[in-house]
Amino acid sequence: MEIDVLISGVQSGDRRMLARAISVVENKMPGYEELLLSLKYQQTAPVIGITGPPGAGKSTLINALIRHICSQTNADGLPNNIAVIAVDPTSPFTHGSLLGDRLRMQEHYLNPQVFIRSLATRGALGGLSAKTLEICDVLRASTFDYIFIETVGVGQSEVEIIGLADTVVVTLVPEAGDEIQALKSGIMEIGDIFVVNKMDRPGADLFAAGLIRTLHERPLHGNWSIPVLKTNASAHEGIEELFQSILSHGNNADPKKQSDLLAERAYRLIQQGRMKDVSVGDLKIELEKNILKEGFNMYRFVRGFY
């Protein structure tokens, strides 16, 4: 298929063309670089990252937010269009995603306002897929009003989302432990909004109060004071307040954070570009040739690749 046709389809909001373009980028098919270079990105669609440990209710929270946003119209008076990137663990057999979102978000799959795409981590750490950044940019070049990214749910290493999302929502549950333990996990350092989900469970108020005390020790991002909100996503409680906080954070974006965000994105793209000719398979072959030689040194070996 001609790249020009894909680009036109992406920018017009054609879902079939969009899905095809994402596959081209994800699998580095011929023409994927031309596609990325030719896209015109809209700056108005906020990218919202939903992260947190397994079992915190991230998918249920996104479901509730989608339902809420779909009931409203955008600035042009048209129905809101929403894209969701759901990062799932990699199947050990197919090396693709386990498609958990098809179960978690099945109520939205037939909704023409919602586009959901599963991505496999493919060994990447940090809660994201290796190609999430580029695929997110493909979505930003289309007609969406909001873009959600749900991380895989691996716990303390889920910090890469801060380099991609305009607003990071950290979802926790009362059973997550005391505020000191929560502070130790990496995800506590990255949130713009904290959500104590499943607020009907015992200890929710106490846990939320502990989070508030802990977060007061963090420096402010510009004029933004990090809120701690309580929700019960399955009952749609607290969703309006959460959505308004997401909008408010977007309106109070710290220019320094925006430049940090762009620099992080650029760094990762440059890193990927410089590593594209290096594969584990090739390294293994070269190591097998050299590892038994007298005086083999791993650092000298690696230096030959950069």
The identity of residue 306, as a single letter, is Y
pTM of the model: 0.83
Look at the chain and report how many structural domains it folds into.
2
The confidence score (pLDDT) of residue 39 equals 86
How far is residue 183's CA from residue 260's CA, in Å, rounded to a whole number?
Answer: 23
| 283 inside domain | no
Tokens 């339902």 belong to residue: 67
Q: Write the CA distances from 83 to 78, 88, 210, 279, integer angstroms.
A: 16, 16, 33, 32
User: What pLDDT tens digit does each residue of the chain (306 aa) get?
Assistant: 688 999 999 999 999 999 999 999 988 899 999 999 998 877 678 999 998 888 888 989 999 999 999 999 998 899 999 999 988 654 433 444 444 445 566 777 778 999 999 886 554 444 455 688 889 999 999 999 999 999 876 444 455 777 788 899 999 998 765 544 555 556 677 889 999 999 999 989 998 998 888 887 766 666 788 999 999 999 999 999 999 999 999 888 777 777 777 787 788 788 878 887 887 788 889 899 888 888 888 888 888 887
Task: For residues 16 and 36, state if they share a domain.
Answer: yes
Same-domain pairing of 9 and 93: no
CB 116 within 8 A of CB 84: yes
Domain with 225 in it: 41-254
Q: Do 32 and 149 have their domain in common?
A: no
Asked if residue 53 and residue 120 are part of one domain, the reply reads: yes
Same domain for 109 and 177, yes or no, is yes
- Asked if residue 259 is part of any domain, the answer here is no
Residues 35 and 54 in one domain: no
Residues 177 and 222 in one domain: yes
Indicate if 160 and 56 belong to the same structural domain: yes
- If asked whether residues 32 and 62 sit together in one domain, one would say no
In this structure, are 57 and 32 located in the same domain?
Answer: no
Residue 6 and residue 99 in one domain: no
Please report the pLDDT score of residue 153 as a whole number. 61
- Residue/partner pairs of 210-217 with CB below 8 Å, 24 or more apart: 210/178, 210/179, 210/182, 211/172, 211/179, 211/182, 213/179, 214/179, 214/180, 214/182, 214/183, 214/188
Both 231 and 121 in one domain: the answer is yes
pLDDT value for 258? 73
pLDDT of residue 50: 93
